[in-house]
Amino acid sequence: RAPSYRTKSQCYKSAEVTGKCNLKEKILDCGQIVWSLAFGSSSSPAGWKLWPRSRQQASGSLRSWQLLATGLSDGHVKIWEVHTGRMLFNLSGHQDVVRDLSFATNGSLTLVTASRDKTLRIWDLKKDVILLWSPDLICTVEQKLCFKYILFAKEKIEVLLWSMRSYTLIRKLEGHQNSVVSCDFSPDSALLITASYDTTMILWDPYTGEKLRQFLHISLSRDLDYSSPEPQLSALRSVCFSPEGLYLASLADDRFLRIWSLEHEEPLSAAPVTNGLCCTFFPHGGILATGNRDGQVQFWTSPQVLSSLRHLCRKALRCFLTTYQVLALPIPGKMKDFLTYRTNY
């Protein structure tokens, strides 16, 4: 189906939020249940000239080279141009739900997709090249990919961290009490967030396997049973880091999109989302996309955060140094705690 766009404004004010909320959205119709999302962009106009002529003609001139990949329930991956809502490519090959996908961060337009058909596919959109990898450990699992590591959720509650270079197991992460359904690396790869049906998100140090923080999802639905003395919790569907790495977005079964700060246990804000399954931030900020069971992608405007100079320095450093390398530096302990995200001051 041809993509249809419409705009509207929605607002939800939670008990923890003060001030006004004005969330604007656009909706993109994908025709199938949207299970996964990823933003990507070409590194430069010069890089666009390297594309095969047939693909240049198919997609024309991209505005700012901003793309969105959607993983669908029928195994297809559709690539869209963000500003126009025009579908550029329809990638086929998977035999089951495309549960997760990720673009390379270097602007090469290399895309990795993970499916319930137990395979990973690496797509080079510029050269029509497809690589297939089928590790023995993949079995009806939830997966998250980046180009430094691959994460698998094995036997529901166990998360496995694999190296993309050697394809060997690095570490197992244990802490959730139910199926792990979503996870994401921070932009500097220094942090890992996992979300589970057990209603919690756990923030990890992927280098040491240490659990740093835990976030609990208390339902915000107006259809609560207020006679119950216990807080009613809500299972998670998706979680992602913001581009600056200090905030999180999550989707839960109570039909709310939440924004979190790494420094607080309570969400900063929330907005209603019907039948939400996945969410992702645009790499350069300003846009948050959510996919749902109705086959639609909603584009939300999000505030662009100006990071402190301290955090920018930490982010630049952690792109190159592991936690162990930071701990070995001849610097004060408080500075080590800050650089390893044990504290934010």
Of the chain, the percentage scoring pLDDT greater than 90 comes to 24
DSSP-derived secondary structure for 114-142: EETTS-EEEEETTTTEEEEE--TT-SS--
pLDDT in tens, 233-271: 778 889 999 999 999 999 988 888 999 999 888 899 888
Confidence of residue 178 (pLDDT cuts 50, 70, 90): confident
The two structure tokens encoding residue 243 = 């581009």
CATH 2.130.10.10 intervals, the chain: 25-305
- pLDDT confidence of residue 305: 79
Compute the distance between CA of residue 336 and CA of residue 339 in angstroms, rounded to an integer.
Answer: 5
DSSP-derived secondary structure for 144-177: EE-SSEEEEEETTTEEEEEETTT--EEEEEE--S
Predicted TM-score of the model (pTM): 0.75
Instruction: Report which of 247, 261, 257 is spatially closest to residue 298, judged by C-alpha positions.
Output: 257
What is the overall mean pLDDT for the chain? 77
Compute the distance between CA of residue 316 and CA of residue 121 in angstroms, rounded to an integer.
Answer: 30
CATH number of 308-345: 1.10.750
- pLDDT confidence of residue 148: 61
| Beta pairing partners, 270 | 258
- pLDDT confidence of residue 134: 56
Q: Which residue has the higher pLDDT, 101 or 338?
A: 338
pLDDT in tens, 7-33: 232 332 332 333 344 445 677 888 889
Domain 25-305 is found in CATH 2.130.10.10:
yes
CATH 1.10.750 intervals, the chain: 308-345
The two structure tokens encoding residue 277 = 């399954």
